[in-house]
Amino acid sequence: MRNCALVLGCAALMMAAVFGCSRGGDGGPPRVPVAVTVTHNGSPVQGAHVTFVPKGDGQAAYGVTGADGKTELSTQGERDGAMPGDYQVMVRKTETEGPERQFNSTETGAMPAGAEAMKSAQTRNLLPEKYSAIGTTDLQASVAADGKNEFSFDLTN
């Protein structure tokens, strides 16, 4: 019975060493859980692409909001969090309108002729444009190494 406990204890230690006790246990930088909520004029935004861009050294973290406007950030793996530090935050949600032409892989040479072929799909931002670029966004976040990292951004026109 004592040998069984010893074997189980060793197995648990080995699993902790292999998988890591924290989110940085995969050999990457240490990361902490980060939850983000995005609303537009008070209403949750589904399908918003949220990007935390580090102000200094580090890696960007990202997420896509669900129907409730919430997401958990990812850096190197799914929902593995963000590195502690200061970030500028970009939020973007786009839709594409217009014809999308699928080209046959056997077509070669010039583009197909005709008015329909000359039309291109148009992409438009469904949220205020200022939040979609580092040069214009005023959204910021400081991710702490310990404690709750929950951020809410209400985008206004």
Please give the C-alpha separations between residue 6 and each of 14, 15, 18, 78, 129, in angstroms, as whole numbers: 12, 14, 18, 34, 60
Reported as a pLDDT band with limits 50, 70 and 90, residue 43 is: very high
- pLDDT exceeds 60 at position 67: yes
Q: Give the pLDDT confidence score for residue 118 in this predicted structure.
A: 53
> What mean pLDDT is predicted for residues 94-101?
76
Q: Give the pLDDT confidence score for residue 112 in this predicted structure.
A: 55
Identify the sign of the CA torsion 135, 140, 143, 144: positive
Reported as a pLDDT band with limits 50, 70 and 90, residue 86 is: very high
Distance CA 70, CA 31 (A): 19
pTM: predicted TM-score of the whole model, two decimal places: 0.72
What is the residue-averaged pLDDT of the chain? 81
Distance CA 113, CA 98 (A): 18
- Could you give all domains of the chain from N- to C-terminal order, each with its CATH number? 29-98+118-157 (2.60.40.1120)
